[in-house]
Amino acid sequence: MYRLQRDESDLAMMKAFEVSNEDFSSAGTASSKIKKILRQIGMDAGVIRRIAIATYEAEINVAIHSNGGHIEVYIKSDKVDIYVEDTGPGIADINLAMQKGYSTATKEIRELGFGAGMGLPNMEKCCDDFYIESVVDEYTAIKMTFNL
Amino acid sequence: MKIIDLVNHEDFKLISKISQTEREIAGVECCDLLSWVMANGQEGEAWITVQIHSNIVAVATLLDFSCIIVPENIEVDAEVIEKATDEDIPVFSTQLDAYGIFKVFYEAGI
Ligand SMILES: Nc1ncnc2c1ncn2[C@@H]1O[C@H](COP(=O)(O)OP(=O)(O)O)[C@@H](O)[C@H]1O
Ligand SMILES: [Mg+2]
């Protein structure tokens, strides 16, 4: 379901990926595909790297913390907009969730190497513009913009 | 040091199939927290981890690591090896622990 208004001006290419919450150990498929597409179109390696890190963290969050969602990539001449939207528990206190080290991940999930509480801060650091909104018991929606 | 040097090293066993072995190993990352690795890993590094689920292949691919090294004879599932082969990521198994692996790299000048 769309939560955030899309900005379609100057759109060159749009790609959409489903993210399931069923097998989070294999999550990362969408971000790997996104990286391959950006490589094919010859985008700057540094930007690709930042997008790869941010989409990976976003994808893992959807897989671990939500009931599933999607990632949409809007490629434009001067920037890339990435929308990540899920349905699920949402985030009650976004400021707290944005803090480094804060995580509600279970022990089992931590043992697999997830849940370091660095995902959201990593995402914010990687992109040029970060927007997040969430409604408890409904959804979390994130928009990240990367300038080219 | 190149991937081929690890392939030929008696303490390391290549368990995925790869198309080329000439890639240079640029450094070493040793960490099991995936977000930490994601934030700090550098292109070309060899990544030592005890995590053996298929997500490590995604991390290695996204960061362009030169290889994954699984220490202390930890067994890796066929499914993960298959995914690494698909993504052309070398996965090595070794009986060495992280310290032993560091020594090999240190002696090779990394
Ligand atoms: N998509 C999401 N849906 C619900 N809660 C989320 C979502 N993303 C993040 N959170 C909450 O924010 C916290 C911090 O997220 P993050 O910084 O990625 O750390 P981690 O994923 O390692 O716990 C999570 O532990 C979780 O409570
Ligand atoms: Mg996270």
CATH number at residue A15: 3.30.565.10
The answer to whether the Cα torsion of A53, A58, A64, A65 is positive or negative is positive
More confident residue, B52 or A23: B52
Mean pLDDT (whole number) for A123-148: 98
User: What strands lie across the sheet with B27-30, from one edge to the other?
Assistant: B12-14, B91-94, B67-70, B45-48, B27-30
Does a structural domain hold residue A104? yes
B32 C-beta neighbours (distance < 10 Å), count: 15
pLDDT at A114 over 90: yes
Cα of A127 from ligand 1 centre, angstroms: 18
Least confident of A21-35, A71-85, B67-81, B90-104: A21-35
Q: Helices A29-40 and A45-65 meet at what angle, rounded to 10? A: 160
- Cβ contact B32–A113 (<8 Å): yes
Backbone angles phi, psi at B67, to 5 degrees: -170, 165
Confidence of residue B108 (pLDDT cuts 50, 70, 90): very high
**Confidence tier at A24 by pLDDT (50, 70, 90):** confident
Name residues whose C-beta falls within 8 Å of residue B13's C-beta, 6 or more positions apart in sequence.
B92, B93, B94
In terms of DSSP bridges, do strands A139-147 and A129-135 run parallel, antiparallel, or are they unpaired?
antiparallel
Query: What pLDDT sits at residue A23?
Result: 80
* Position A6 in a domain: no
C-alpha A118 – ligand 2 centre gap (Å): 6
**Is residue A5 in some structural domain?**
no
Identity (one letter) of the amino acid at A27?
Answer: A
Domain B3-107 CATH superfamily = HprK N-terminal domain-like (3.40.1390.20)
Q: Over the stretch A34-49, which tens digit does the pLDDT of each residue have?
A: 999 999 999 999 999 9
Number of structural domains found in chain A: 1
Please give the residue of chain A at the shortest CA–CA distance from B61: A32
Nearest to B59 among A28, A29, A112 (CB): A28
Range of the domain at A44: 11-147
> Residue A25 pLDDT > 80, yes or no?
no
pLDDT score recorded for residue A22: 86
CB A63 within 8 A of CB A20: yes
CA distance B110 to B76: 26
**A63 belongs to a structural domain:** yes
Q: Is the pLDDT confidence value at A26 over 80?
A: no
Asked whether A120 lines ligand 1 (CB < 6 A), one says yes
In a domain, A1, yes or no: no
Q: Give the Cα separation of A54 and A123 in Å (integer).
A: 5
A interface with B, Cβ–Cβ < 8 A, is 24-29, 31-32, 35, 49, 52-53, 56-57, 60, 112-114, 116-119, 122, 125
Contact status, residue A133 vs residue A141, Cβ threshold 8 Å:
yes
C-alpha distance from B79 to closest chain A C-alpha (Å): 10
Q: Does the residue A3 lie in any domain?
A: no
Query: Is the beta carbon of A91 within 6 A of some atom in ligand 1?
Result: yes
The domain ranges of chain B are 3-107
